[in-house]
Structure 1
Amino acid sequence: GCGRASYISDNPCMQTGCTSTTDPRSRDRVQSESTGRTLVVSWHWPPTKRASTQVLATLFGRAPADRFTVLTRGMRRFDSNDATAIPNLPTHEVRWSGASDDDGTIRTWFASIIAAIRFWRVGKRICREYSIDRVLAVYPHRYSLLVGWLIARSVNKPFVAYMHDLFAETLIARNKPKRAFWQWVDRCVMKFASLVIVPTREFAEHYQRRGVRQTWVLPHCIESPESAMPLPCVDDVLRLTYAGSIYQAHEDSIARLIEGVSSMDGVSLTFLSQPHPMLAGQDVCWLDRSEAMQRLADSHVLVVALGHETPYPEEVQGCFPSKIVDYLAMGRPILAAVPPGSFVERFVAETGCGISVSSRNPEDIRKALEELRDIKRLAACATAAQSEARKLDAAYWMDELTKRLTALGAPASTSPRSTFESHPQSHPVQFSEHRPTCEV
């Protein structure tokens, strides 16, 4: 709940389950008739503090207000000078009756069901009143996909699934009926979608193997690609920083990282993380985003760690950790301790923005750090990171997204495709991974 801005508390619309943070209704109707409007359905939205909402804030912060309308939850906000920036888009909120947002509790489950029904009812009304041309649902969260799909079906509009992560492949619920239900939702959503947006080529290939033909690679973006700061002078200590929470699926990689660094002189490792048992005795702190970004800027090398011993290997192989865009924005070399064949390993190797260690041997981490002690190698990696950052400009990718959405036709269930769609490279920079389409 930290870092949330406080706004819209006693709006009378809350009593009917809908709050509009901006309500330019007549203007929206006129503009949407000529430009085409997309309803964005997202369970989480800025200023809520999550990795996914930071990605959304960066991308949709460059969105034209006459092309997008947002439907999200009316979460209780808290004042903060570090709240995630809210995109300047017409935003409608449905009332959230849960005491918290913690998954796995009966109370949250009931609140989610009630909110999903409200989403569906309010979403249909918005589609009628604002002449919505298509529905885009953001994953995470699973309820975003569910209600976005139901809204699109109800109004017979093209449906777009914006998948930051995999869905069915990461379900680890012990309740078999619950798991079966969400797996069914995943299949229905992918079959109905006119377009599935993913952050990496690996995810696109995964969905193609599942029979999903219409995919497009949209990378996580950077708000100010020229925001890199000069690399700090390397004195007697090479400073490493890992930013983000420690998840159980990646603990094995974190353990090897700690083991590899602990036996080296002249190397420090800081975790910008919540307290965790395996970080006992380590340099750990949890900072607001602005302070965390300054700590990243003061570092020489920034760290990504993904687990080998994970219950959802497909996710780990294709995921695009959002921390990477912050690392690139800082213009810092990346040390990636990740499984072989993963997107992160390939990205770091192909771009030259750091060193990737795919083995399970801590000694290989030490060897990589010895390479990064070399000032010339460190500077070359920093230069490559800055070069890649310029290819992730949010303004460019929002323009590409808007064009792609405008070109959508009828829902997939009524207009089946028999071939995997591909388009020629249109970006002037040859960004081998994140071109405007995924050509597999």
Structure 2
Amino acid sequence: MENQKKVLIVTYYWPPAGGPGVQRWLKFAKYLPEFGWEPIIYTPENPSYPLVDETLLNEVPKHLKIIKTNIWEPYQIAEKLSKSNKKYKGGQFDVGKNQSFFSKLSIFIRGNFFIPDARKFWVKPSVKFLKKYLKENKIDVLVTTGPPHSLHLIGLGLKKDLPELKWIADFRDPWTEISYYKHLKLTQWADQKHRQLEKAVFENADITLATSYTDAKNFRKNGANAYCITNGFDKENTSTPLSATEGKLNFTLSYVGVLEQLRNPENLWKALENLCKTNSDFAKDFELKFVGRVDDKILNEIESSVLKNNIRNLGYLSHNDSVQEMQNSDLLLITNFPSESSKGIIPGKLFEYLATGKKIISFGPTNADVETILSKINAGKHFDYTETNSVKDYIFSLYEDWKNDKPITNAANISEFSRRALSEKLAGLMDNLL
């Protein structure tokens, strides 16, 4: 790696962190050396992760340099007040009538006192530490990745002190445009502060990365030099798809990941209930599988319906086991926030879904980027949250194919979304900065 250029990646999520937040830069770190870049990771020594997956430690490249410093986070205090605070670390919220007094108080405190988020206490010590590190080591490019968006303030602080530093701000999710932003119960002052900081990041970063086409477009409107590099799939983590019915007794619809109240596809549950009530074969053959963490309120509602005997809830599994459960499914479910402002969100698991070759059913706003991808490569169907009959018809048509031993896999060309191809694209952007 002697002749390679060096990129310092500031990330909160790193193995053994579980969930989708860790995958993006773990995979970039794996493949960037093939394109002339040596990654160096800067991450907290003692983070408070909402999910842990020890198996991901096996995917960290053996010779990767990792620098760690201590972080102080207020979540331990918050969790003593209310167990539901564990959700907020992962950006989940109780909404509407489900909000307790402590939920409301915690959300208010989070949005107004911890700007941009509760990891803000790592910013100043990190700027101090990394300023010294950058002066003593030749680093060609700095990357900060959020959320948590406080990590972009580390980049902002370093850029102000070292203006010649090349800085890329990577937004895995938007900041003020994310759907739950409006649920933070912000005062006018806090809202302005969030927006000022976001604007400063957009205007000072040499490149702002977005994970969707719409987000990149919105970032450019707000003053950023923005490019889209989507998330992707790693060929080494996928196996050959099974045939439609090989070794399977059930027609299985699976949701893999965290399902929260703000992305609850109630119209899907209605469609499935209707199918079970009106078709005894479907009721006998159908399996609704959850892999990950499903909000208790959602789970309770489904378990109180006619679907209660069709549910298989496996809870949180390792990443490798989750991929295997995707393979052992017939139809994969993905959900997005319903608001128009969320149409640019492309969940990272979409690409792992695509790599399985299984059909995908998606819910979110009309003309979402997910819909664009699914339509372009004919890998499934996207619905908004008002449709029920068309959802029912789509699922039943796939069920009939399954029943008649017809393949319901897709053969989409998805090579552009491989982690290696995406790393090459990122390396090209960094090369152009120098």
If the TM-score is normalised by the length of the shorter chain, which range does it land in? 0.7 to 0.9
Q: Distance in 1 between matches of 2:405 and 2:209?
A: 35
CA, structure 1 residues 180+76, in 2 after alignment: closer, same or farther (shift >3 Å)? closer
Shift of 1:81: 4.8
User: Residue 278 of structure 1: which of 293, 298, 303 is its match?
Assistant: 298
Alignment correspondent of 1:217: 228
Q: State the TM-score, normalizing by the size of structure 2.
A: 0.76
Alignment correspondent of 2:259: 246
Alignment correspondent of 2:85: none
What pairs up with 1:108-147 in 2 under 5 angstroms?
112-147=119-154
Q: Distance in 2 between matches of 1:145 and 1:49?
A: 21
Shift of 1:217: 1.8
Alignment correspondent of 2:274: 263
Contact kept, 8 Å, 1:72 with 1:91, in 2: the verdict is yes
Contact kept, 8 Å, 2:16 with 2:55, in 1: the verdict is no
- Give the secondary structure class of the aligned counterpart of 2:32: coil
Alignment correspondent of 1:435: none
User: Residue 325 of structure 1: which of 351, 361, 367 is its match?
Assistant: 351
Task: Specify the code of the residue in structure 2 equivalent to 1:162.
Answer: D
Alignment correspondent of 1:59: 28
Task: Specify the code of the residue in structure 1 equivalent to 2:39.
Answer: F
Alignment correspondent of 1:227: 239
Task: Give CA-to-partner distance per residue, 1:245-272, whole Å, 9 cap, x none.
Answer: 1223212xx2111111122142332222
Q: Distance in 2 between matches of 1:307 and 1:43?
A: 24
Shift of 1:94: 1.4
- CA-atom RMSD, angstroms? 2.9
User: Residue 98 of structure 1: which of 73, 85, 94 is its match?
Assistant: 73
Contact kept, 8 Å, 2:48 with 2:73, in 1: the verdict is no
Task: Give CA-to-partner distance per residue, 1:189-222, whole Å, 9 cap, x none.
Answer: 101121111122111222233343x222212122
CA, structure 1 residues 169+299, in 2 after alignment: closer, same or farther (shift >3 Å)? same
Task: Specify the code of the residue in structure 2 equivalent to 1:271.
Answer: F
Alignment correspondent of 2:157: 150
User: Residue 83 of structure 1: which of 56, 75, 97 is its match?
Assistant: 56
- Give the secondary structure class of the aligned counterpart of 2:417: coil
Alignment correspondent of 1:301: 331
Q: Distance in 2 between matches of 1:288 and 1:297?
A: 14
- Give the secondary structure class of the aligned counterpart of 1:243: strand
Task: Specify the code of the residue in structure 1 equivalent to 2:42.
Answer: L
CA, structure 1 residues 236+135, in 2 after alignment: closer, same or farther (shift >3 Å)? closer
User: Residue 188 of structure 1: which of 200, 215, 229 is its match?
Assistant: 200
Alignment correspondent of 1:25: none
Task: Specify the code of the residue in structure 1 equivalent to 2:378.
Answer: G
Alignment correspondent of 1:363: 389
Shift of 1:99: 6.6
Q: Distance in 1 between matches of 2:251 and 2:270?
A: 16
Task: Specify the code of the residue in structure 2 equivalent to 1:86.
Answer: V
Say which structure is richer in helix.
2
User: Residue 168 of structure 2: which of 160, 176, 192 is its match?
Assistant: 160
Contact kept, 8 Å, 2:18 with 2:53, in 1: the verdict is no
Q: Distance in 1 between matches of 2:147 and 2:267?
A: 29
CA, structure 1 residues 150+228, in 2 after alignment: closer, same or farther (shift >3 Å)? farther
Q: Distance in 2 between matches of 1:356 and 1:237?
A: 23
Alignment correspondent of 2:367: 341
Runs of 5+ consecutive residues of structure 1 not aligned to the other structure: 1-27, 410-440
Alignment correspondent of 2:101: none
- Give the secondary structure class of the aligned counterpart of 2:60: coil
Q: Distance in 1 between matches of 2:204 and 2:166?
A: 9
Q: State the TM-score, normalizing by the size of structure 1.
A: 0.75
- Give the secondary structure class of the aligned counterpart of 1:67: strand
Alignment correspondent of 1:383: 411
Q: Answer yes or no: is 1:70 the counterpart of 2:51.
A: no
Q: Distance in 2 between matches of 1:217 and 1:113?
A: 26
- Give the secondary structure class of the aligned counterpart of 2:245: coil
Task: Give CA-to-partner distance per residue, 1:148-197, whole Å, 9 cap, x none.
Answer: 22112211212211111111223333242333222111000101121111
Q: Distance in 2 between matches of 1:187 and 1:86?
A: 33
Task: Give CA-to-partner distance per residue, 1:256-298, whole Å, 9 cap, x none.
Answer: 1111112214233222242421222152231312332222111
- Give the secondary structure class of the aligned counterpart of 1:244: strand
| Equivalenced residues, count | 368
Runs of 5+ consecutive residues of structure 2 not aligned to the other structure: 77-87, 90-105
Contact kept, 8 Å, 1:137 with 1:149, in 2: the verdict is no
> Percent of pairs identical after alignment?
15
Q: Distance in 1 between matches of 2:137 and 2:350?
A: 37
Q: Distance in 1 between matches of 2:260 and 2:324?
A: 24
- Give the secondary structure class of the aligned counterpart of 2:145: strand
